[in-house]
Structure 1
Amino acid sequence: MGTNADTEKDARRDVHSLTRGELTELLAGLGQPGFRAKQVEEWVWSKNARSWDEMTNLPKALREQLAERLTLGAVEEVARQASSDGSRKYLLRLSDGVCVECVGMPSGSRLAVCASTQAGCAMGCAFCATGGAGLTRSLTDAEIYEQVMHVRDDFGERVTSVVLMGQGEPFMNYDATLAALRRLNSPEGAGIGARHLTVSTCGVIPQIMRFANEPEQFTLAVSLHSAVQKTRNALMPGVRKYSLVNLYNAMGEYVDKTGRRPTYEYALIGGVNDTDAELQALCDFCEGTLAHVNLIQLNEVEGSKLRPSTPARAEDFVRRLASVGVEATVRNSRGADIDAACGQLKQRVERGR
């Protein structure tokens, strides 16, 4: 049976969930001047403080009052894998015990982070370790943001780019995803340029159109994986209702409205979407558009019959796409010696238990 102290602790709000207005009101009620809110927010969002005692420019009495009323809602690292290529994968536990994965990928002076927007995923993509487990819940904007800050602090370096391509479908959690992007972009948050913040969607058309109307220059990536409707339906059942014809039209509108170049993600799967017919369909889908094609070497998922294409086949795709004026690159697969695919580290930890 819980004690009164436990009940009081449970009743405290996470400071990350407070708006500036709510925080200012709380501090005013404690007899504090208005500038204290900015000080607290700087510790919470920019410095990623893990305890109230770290906030050394706040009076000690105020720190004690805040600790009684608010939690810092820190994520807890459950597992961490380091790859020989320098990338690190993390399994983080959130305040309610739910776990999510994120990855830090250093390259020279740059540090990219791949973060999750949901715990689990409802889209059910055939090649994804996360999709097999279903959706647990969507994350808050703070929980998305805190993954990036955890990676930043572990590397001790500034994060220069973020891609929301981890667990979950960002556009099925649109409001929190956008709020997290804005916080990552804000000078009072992580201060990352909008064009270095990318959302990867399976192709949820209504939200693509909504995203096109946002004022920021955020980047859009669409998981395509096949330009043949039957193949795409089999690989990505969660977006079956959004046909390729409608996706093609929506992406045309997106480019017209934003002037920004979208990316199509295409994981090459041997004998499934790497045939000559599939390649021709991809060329037809992309020719004459502004899109860039990002060819991905499929991560093998335990228990899946799907296998990656050969590097030579990936180069065939690059050459053929180039011949119709479409720029394509083969994404350098990071973390191949660790549980690189989304959901794999979580599964390994759970099996270990």
Structure 2
Amino acid sequence: MPNAELVEFFDELGEKPFRARQLMQWLYQRRVLDFDAMTDLSRSLRAKLHSSACLELPAVLSRENSRDGTQKWLIDVGGGQAVEAVFIPEPNRGTLCISSQAGCAIDCAFCATGRQGFNRNLSATEILAQVLIARDAVPSEITNVVFMGMGEPLANYDNVLRAVQILVDDFGFGLSRRRVTISTSGLAPQLLRLARDCNVALAVSLHATTDALRNQLVPINRVHPIDKLLDACWQYAEVLASRQVTFEYVMLADVNDSAADARRLVSLLRGRPAKVNLIPFNPFPGVDFTCSRADVIDRFTRILRDNGIV
């Protein structure tokens, strides 16, 4: 629970508001998941907590370790469903990619998760459990958290917001808002609400420069087309005056990687608070797409950089 909800919870138990801060510090800073080990809580309060709450983390079904230090967990969320979390180490930071839903209803043409269909939203507790599991397993600090795993975060708005509130709370994980990123496939109406409620970094899965192509790659574009989506992005950036919007663009061979595509992308973003993240496509069984060649990605990158977009 975020601090405000914990205050209400402790009030119902007949306890003072400061107990919320104490519990958050035990859970998120001291990494203690046993009420009996929380020594500055009275025995009577610990008994109340035992009878009204559970601190057990979900089971890790599998864990993969790569040579570059990347780690991936498959986490059981019950009902036969599992979600992924991925830790990506870099020289000056460690980024954890987490899921917000079991499955996804957006059904992007190049995404393996979409082929599973949508099962359910994750609770804030299930979202944060991914962070707790990863934090205790990786050798370096988690400095950044990105909602870029399974699911569409803005379709699970309330639970994602509650999780973010704990991620950035000084008594929670204590992350800077600039180090928390929410990635969306394009739920345009939610973006202004997000700017007012959350004040975190925004990434948008664009992947195409025309509605005709984006309708095929990201079907939600039929509801929220590119011009409507970009208008919402610029409003987001205006509310958060110091923020750039990151546009994610997966590189699909002979689909969206031409020089003309790059020039159209420049036209869409030139003069705006925007940057582009080009993502090499990672093929999976049953998909017809392939990744753009390295020289094609280089050409695309040069066109963007030559026009002031990085």
What is the TM-score normalised by the length of structure 2? 0.91
- Computing the radius of gyration over CA atoms, which structure comes out larger, 1 or 2? 1
Structure 1: state its 5+ residue gaps: 1-14, 328-353
Q: CA RMSD in A?
A: 2.2
1:54 has 2:37 as partner: yes
Percent identity among equivalent residues? 36
Q: Which amino acid aligns with 2:221?
A: V
Give me the whole-angstrom Cα distance separating, in 2, the residues matched to 1:93 and 1:17.
Answer: 26
SS at match of 1:40: helix
| One-letter code aligned to 1:269 | L
1:16 and 1:142 in contact (8 A); partners too:
no
2:6 maps to 20
- Aligned pair partner of 1:171 in 141, 154, 161: 154
Alpha carbons 2:206, 2:248 under 8 Å: kept: yes
Q: What's 2:227 paired with?
A: 245
Distance 1:33 1:267 in 2: 50
Q: Which residue of 1 aligns with 2:65?
A: 82
| CA separation of 1:36 and 1:21: change in aligned 2, threshold 3 A | closer
Partner of residue 288, structure 1: 271
Q: Which moved more, 1:90-99 or 1:181-190?
A: 90-99
Matched, 1:92 2:75: yes
Please list the CA deviations of residues 181-223 of structure 1 after superposition, one character each: whole Å capped at 9, or x if unmatched. 1210111110010001101001111011222333x54111100
Cα distance in 2 for partners of 1:100, 1:255 equals 31
Q: Give the Cα separation in 1 of the matches to 2:18 and 2:286.
A: 55
Structure 1 residue 139: Cα displacement: 1.1
What's the CA shift string for 1:285-334, capped at 9, x where partnerless?
1222221010001111111011000111111111111222212xxxxxxx
Conserved? CA contact 1:74–1:95, under 8 Å: no
Q: Residues of 2 paired with 1:25 and 1:87: CA distance?
A: 42
Structure 1: which amino acid aligns with 2:237?
Answer: V
Take 1:124 and 1:165, find their aligned partners in 2: how far apart are those partners? 15
CA contact (8 A) 1:117 1:173 kept: yes
Query: Shift of residue 65 of structure 1?
Result: 4.4
Counterpart-to-counterpart distance in 1, 2:44 and 2:231: 59
Q: CA deviation at 1:270?
A: 0.4
Q: CA, structure 1 residues 76+18, in 2 after alignment: closer, same or farther (shift >3 Å)?
A: farther
Partners of 2:70 and 2:272 in 1: how far apart? 33
Aligned position for 2:259: 276
Give the counterpart letter for 1:308 in structure 2. C
- 2:237 corresponds in structure 1 to 255
Matches within 5 A, 1:119-134: 119-134=102-117
RCO higher in structure (CA 8 A, sep ≥6): 1
Residue 123 (structure 2) aligns with: 140
| 1:167 aligned counterpart, secondary structure | coil
In structure 2, give the amino acid aligned to 1:188: F
CA separation in 2, counterparts of 1:252 and 1:16? 29
Change in 2 beyond 3 A, CA 1:25/1:197: same
2:307 corresponds in structure 1 to 324
- Offset at residue 169 of structure 1 (A): 0.6
Q: Kindly indicate whether residue 187 of structure 2 is the aligned counterpart of residue 201 of structure 1.
A: no
